[in-house]
Amino acid sequence: MENYRVRSAGLSVPAGKGRRRVRATLVALLAGSLLFTAACSGSKSPSWQGGSNNAGTAESPSPQPTLSTVAVTSPAAAATGIEAWSDVKYTSDDPENTTVKVTDSQGAEVKGTVDKDEKVWHPAESMDWGSKYTVTVSTPPADGKGNETTSDFTVMKKPANLVRVTSFLGDKQVVGVGMPLIIKFGRSVPEKYRAEVERKMTVTSSPAQEGTWGWISPTEVHFRPKTYWQANTKIDYKVQLKGVKMGDGWYGKSDLTVDMKIGRSLIMTVDNKTKKMTVKKDGAVIKTLPVSLGKASTPSSSGTMVVIEKKEHTVFDTTDTDPTGGYKTNIDFAQRITWSGQFIHAAPWSEGQQGKRNVSHGCVNVSEAMGKWLFGQTMMGDVITVSGTEEKLKNGNGWTDWNVSYDTFKKTSAIS
C-alpha cells in the first residue's frame, strides 16, 4: 500500500513525485473559494479587511453632533407676578457664543445687557405692568453644534402703592454753574433701597465731568460735579424709576428725562472784613460793590450758597414768626440764598451803611442801583460765598451742596 501524506478538500495524494500536482490543485481550490465568498457577500469587505462580519446587514449610522445645552432658569416658565425690572438667568455650556433675547407680546425686543460670565440678562428699561414676555436663549451652529430654547413670563399688575418722582429742573432750562440736579420723591425711600434708586438715575454731560448723587434727606437726592459745572455744559439726565422697589410694597411710579444747559460762569464773593462783594463772570472781575451784612444779633451765614429763586418785587413779612419784633417791608430785586430767609436784595434805607457796617437781619444788602444791576446779571444756580461772619452756614439751609468738600458730599451717596 502507498503512504498518503497530504489531505485537502477530500483529496488524497501519494507522497513523493505527486506532491507538486497537489500544491497546484490546492491553489486552484483556494482561489475558487475566495471568488465564491466575494460573490456571496455583495459589496461588503471581508471581516479581515475591516468589513462587517454580518453579511447582508446595513451600515452603522455616523455619530450625531452634540448640541450645546441651553436653558432658562429664572423666571420660571409661565411664571406670573414678575417684577418689572427682573433679570433673566440661564444656563449654557457655550456661554461666550450664547444669545439672549427678550421680546414683548408684539415681538418687539426689550433693551438689555448680557453678563456672559454670570449668565444673566439685565433689562435696560422697565417692562410694562401686566404684560407677557418671551425669552429666547440660543447658540449658533458651529462645528455641528447649535440649540435654542424659549420660555415666557408675565409681569405683575400695576401696584396700588406708587411713589411719585419729580425733577426740580425742566427741559431747556439754563442755570448757573453751582446748580445741583434735584430729584424729589413723594414718599421717604428707606436706606436699604437707595442704592438701587441711584443706579437707575444716570447723568451725561458734555464736556464730561466727574460727579455723584448724594441724599439730602429720605425724600430728596442731589447730583453735583466735583467742581463747579464748566460754563456752557450740556446736561442730560435720565431717571428710570418706574417699577423700582422703594420699600414696604411701594414702587416708583414713572420715568423722566431732562435736557438742560449750564450758562456762563458767575461767582459772587462777599468778605465781611471789607464789606464788599466781588463779582466774577467767566473768571474775570466785572464789578466790586459795597454791602451791609447781618448785625451781631442776626448775623449772615458764612459759607457757599447758590441763588435759589429771584423776585424782582416782593414783601418780607416776619410778623407771623415774630409778632412783637417782626416787620413787613417791600423789597426790590430779591435773590434767596437760604431757606431761613437770607437774601441778596436792594436796601435803599441802608445805603449810607453799606461798605462800612452791618445793619441787616442777615441778608446781603446792596444799593437800589446795584441791586437792579446784579439782578440783571444772575440766574438760579449762581454761586455766592460769604466769609468772616459770626455764624457758619448750616448744611441743608438752602442748596448747600458746595458748602462741603466733594469727598464729604460723596459719602452721602448710597453707592459711593
**Which residues are tagged catalytic?**
345, 363
The contacts of residue 397 (CB under 8 Å, 6+ apart) are 301, 338, 339, 340
DSSP string, 3-41: -EEEEETTEEEESSTTHHHHHHHHHHHHHHHHHHHHHHS
3-state SS class at 195: helix
d(Cα 193, Cα 198) in Å, to the nearest integer? 9
* Cβ neighbours, 10 Å, residue 174: 15
d(Cα 32, Cα 48) in Å, to the nearest integer? 18
Residues recorded for the chain? 416
Identify any residues that bridge with 135 across adjacent strands, giving them in sequence order. 102, 151
From residue 388, alpha-carbon distances to 269, 327, 391, 396 in Å are 11, 27, 9, 20
Judged by phi (left if over 0) then psi (alpha if -120 to 50, else beta), residue 275 lies in: left
Q: To 10 degrees, the CA torsion angle through 283, 287, 292, 294?
A: -20
And the C-alpha cell for 38? 466575494
And the C-alpha cell for 128? 410694562
From residue 72, alpha-carbon distances to 68, 98, 133, 152, 265 in Å are 14, 12, 13, 9, 54
d(Cα 160, Cα 251) in Å, to the nearest integer? 9
CA atoms within 13 A on the CB side of 388: 12
CA atoms within 13 A on the CB side of 201: 29
* Cβ neighbours, 10 Å, residue 118: 11
